[in-house]
Structure 1
Amino acid sequence: MITGTDLLQISLARVNMDRTDLESAGVIERGEAGDKAWSNFGRDMDTFILKLPDWRRAALAEAIREQANRQDGTSH
């Protein structure tokens, strides 16, 4: 179950991620190959997430988890 605090951490992590975070995590391709995906992420993040293949969605979840941990200074 997700708590209100969890939801806040997820939201903060998502809005504080940049393109290099997504490229490093393997969520989008590096360089020009990732331009459209990066644009879609910025324009409509929810639809972007819904359309990701399972393995990229898992990579995004891990990247969000890592970002949230950096924000609150913990490891999960």
Structure 2
Amino acid sequence: MSSGGCAVPHAQIAYLAAAAFRFVLLRKQTRYRAELDWLGRELKRTRPRAEGACLRLGQVVRRGGELYGGWRF
């Protein structure tokens, strides 16, 4: 990795990906119930244990919801 880079752990990437897919699929809950259940389990499994990391990821997810909440999927 070059200097000034940022290493993001795999579990945090998985958490953010699951949160993003869940955000989109929640709009079509009845069609994607099984997928939403799986995404919920993935969010629990990959949730950071450290409070600081958990707060940072929560901020990213909330900010994404604010930015894309009005979009139609």
Question: Is TM > 0.5 for Structure 1 vs Structure 2?
Answer: no
Q: Which of these two proteins has the greater Rg computed from alpha carbons?
A: 2
> Higher helix fraction: Structure 1 or Structure 2?
1
Q: TM-score range by the shorter chain?
A: 0.3 to 0.5
**TM-score (ref. length: structure 1):** 0.39
**TM-score (ref. length: structure 2):** 0.40
